[in-house]
Copies of this chain bind each other. A is one copy, B any other.
């Protein structure tokens, strides 16, 4: 059963044009933002995103790593939420691996730009939304 959810979830990730990421701010409010699709992912367990070191989301995750990420397929009204922890990675090995040609457009100093960092999300569990019903699953 879990395998079916994983396969369905991977299909939604592949068809989603954006990832929505959520954090919790200092006042206890959920915050959310659309991101470019992940640079790398390992199934539905681990996802890597590029982002700006000075962004509000990074500052929130450094204080409180509790996170969710969400993908959805507009055409079929299916969505998958993954709930877990977000780490902010600034080591050069990770930054080198995740960097792509063209990123200079956002980070003018290149792969060593201190404004460039990597978000690593690790899922604890998931929730699938389909046909106006929802179901939890293990990741």
Contacts and interface: CB of A to CB of B under 8 A. Distances in A.
A79 B33 CA distance: 7
Contacts of A17: 74
B79 A34 contact: yes
A56 B22 contact: no
Interface residues of A, number: 34
A68 B30 contact: yes
Nearest to A125: B29
Copies per complex of this chain: 2
B22 A81 contact: no
Which 4 pairs from chain A and chain B are nearest by CB?
A22-B30, A30-B30, A29-B66, A32-B70
Nearest to A52: B132
Nearest to A25: B83
A23 interface: yes
Given A17-B74, A18-B72, A18-B74, A81 B31 contact: yes
A53 to B, nearest CB: 13
A109 to B, nearest CB: 16
Contacts of A56: 127, 134
